[in-house]
């Protein structure tokens, strides 16, 4: 079998066009241009690339984006002050603090400081709570991007066994949460695996849908995948100047029914969802 390639790049481009149209209508009605502010602390080159890509995507969707670049020596208190200023600024609709932060800054303290109504990454306990209850204000960017890919490629999720590899707050947990909700592109039976899971390969082999988000290059091998399964690869791992996912792409694509590439799969969908959340934040703030 040779799998269908799930083309996140083109789905994300379509989503960005939808957002651009909705943002234009919103601006026409209210005079407001949705505004995303990214805060980047230090000079991690990968983080700088991610932020630049997010800014470029904002431009494509007609959203305003601003970058606050702060030196690596910025203290936690100084960063908190920046976040507080952005919280209070009615001209800012979404705040994105690019992770990872330098080691001397506690990420949780900073993320908790972002006011829930501008938390376009959907990390705030209030937003996570709303998501768990099935009435999200914002969508978790990467998991919602994966869900949209399942929808676009008409992958049946109702009653399907979805195995999520990884239990992070940013990907694994919210991914599982989206798929167990009642409703469209959900209603799945979900298993979450992590580093303490026993017989992980045997569990993955039972999956109709595999979502790999552990940060280990080519971890998911062909013998771990049930023939005909759908495989979404969230992982982004650097091997020299090459990016590879958590899935051993070539052999797995001989077994799977459909698979995302890295790059060009889940990554662009994460950014598109961030844009959607920024527009939602502006719409909510306009009442």
**Which residues belong to the active site?**
54, 98, 121
Q: Does 64 bind ligand NDP (CB under 6 A)?
A: no
Chain-centre distance for alpha carbon 149: 12
Say how far apart CA 194 and CA 174 lie, in whole Å: 14
Say how far apart CA 67 and CA 204 lie, in whole Å: 40
User: Of 197-216, which residues contact ligand NDP (CB under 6 A)?
Assistant: 197, 200, 213-216
Q: Does 170 bind ligand NDP (CB under 6 A)?
A: yes
Region near ligand NDP per CB under 6 A, out of 74-82, 178-186, 233-241, 248-256: 233-241
Strand 258-259 with 242-244, pairing:
unpaired
Say how far apart CA 250 and CA 3 lie, in whole Å: 10
Helix 45-61 with 266-285: angle, nearest 10 deg:
60
Token representation of residue 7: 């083309």
Interface pattern 102-141 for ligand NDP (x via CB under 6 A) = ----------------------------------------
To ligand NDP, the closest distance from the beta carbon of 222 in angstroms equals 17
To ligand NDP, the closest distance from the beta carbon of 173 in angstroms equals 9
Q: H or E segment at 202?
A: helix 200-204
Q: Which of 62, 102, 140, 267 binds ligand NDP (CB under 6 A)?
A: 267
Q: How many residues bind ligand NDP (CB under 6 A)?
A: 25
Under a CB-based contact definition with an 8 Å cutoff, are residues 55 and 66 in contact? no
Residue of 80, 70, 72, 68 lying closest to 102 (CA atoms): 72
**116 vs 163, which CB is nearer to ligand NDP?**
163
To ligand NDP, the closest distance from the beta carbon of 235 in angstroms equals 4
Q: Which of 102, 140, 166, 174 binds ligand NDP (CB under 6 A)?
A: 166
Say how far apart CA 223 and CA 200 lie, in whole Å: 12
Q: Does 234 bind ligand NDP (CB under 6 A)?
A: yes
Interacting residues with ligand NDP (CB under 6 A): 142, 165-168, 170-172, 193-197, 200, 213-216, 234-237, 266-267, 270
């Amino acid at each position: 079998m040779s799998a269908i390639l799930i083309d996140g790049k083109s789905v994300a481009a379509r989503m960005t066009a939808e957002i651009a149209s909705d943002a234009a209508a919103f601006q026409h009605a209210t005079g407001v241009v949705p505004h995303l502010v990214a805060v980047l602390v230090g000079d991690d080159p990968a983080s700088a690339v991610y932020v630049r890509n997010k800014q470029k995507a904002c431009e494509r969707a007609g959203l305003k984006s601003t970058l606050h670049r702060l030196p690596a020596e910025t203290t936690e208190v100084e960063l908190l002050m920046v976040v507080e200023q952005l919280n209070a600024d009615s001209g800012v609709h979404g705040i994105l603090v690019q992770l990872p932060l330098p080691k001397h800054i506690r990420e949780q303290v900073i993320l908790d400081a972002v006011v829930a109504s501008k938390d376009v990454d959907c990390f705030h306990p209030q937003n996570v709570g709303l998501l768990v209850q099935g009435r999200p204000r914002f969508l978790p960017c990467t998991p919602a991007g994966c869900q949209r890919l399942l929808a676009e490629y008409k992958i049946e999720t109702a009653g399907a066994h979805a195995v999520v590899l990884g239990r992070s707050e940013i990907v694994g947990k919210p991914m599982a949460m989206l798929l167990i909700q009642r409703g469209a592109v959900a209603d799945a039976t979900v298993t979450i695996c992590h580093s303490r899971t026993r017989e992980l390969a045997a569990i993955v082999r039972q999956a109709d849908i595999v979502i790999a988000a552990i940060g280990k290059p080519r971890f998911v091998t062909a013998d771990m995948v049930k023939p005909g399964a759908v495989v979404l690869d969230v992982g982004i791992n650097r091997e020299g100047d090459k990016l590879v996912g958590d899935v051993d792409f070539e052999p797995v694509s001989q077994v799977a029914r459909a698979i995302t590439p890295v790059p060009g799969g889940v990554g662009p969908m994460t950014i598109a969802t961030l844009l959607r959340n920024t527009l939602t934040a502006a719409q909510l703030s306009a009442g």
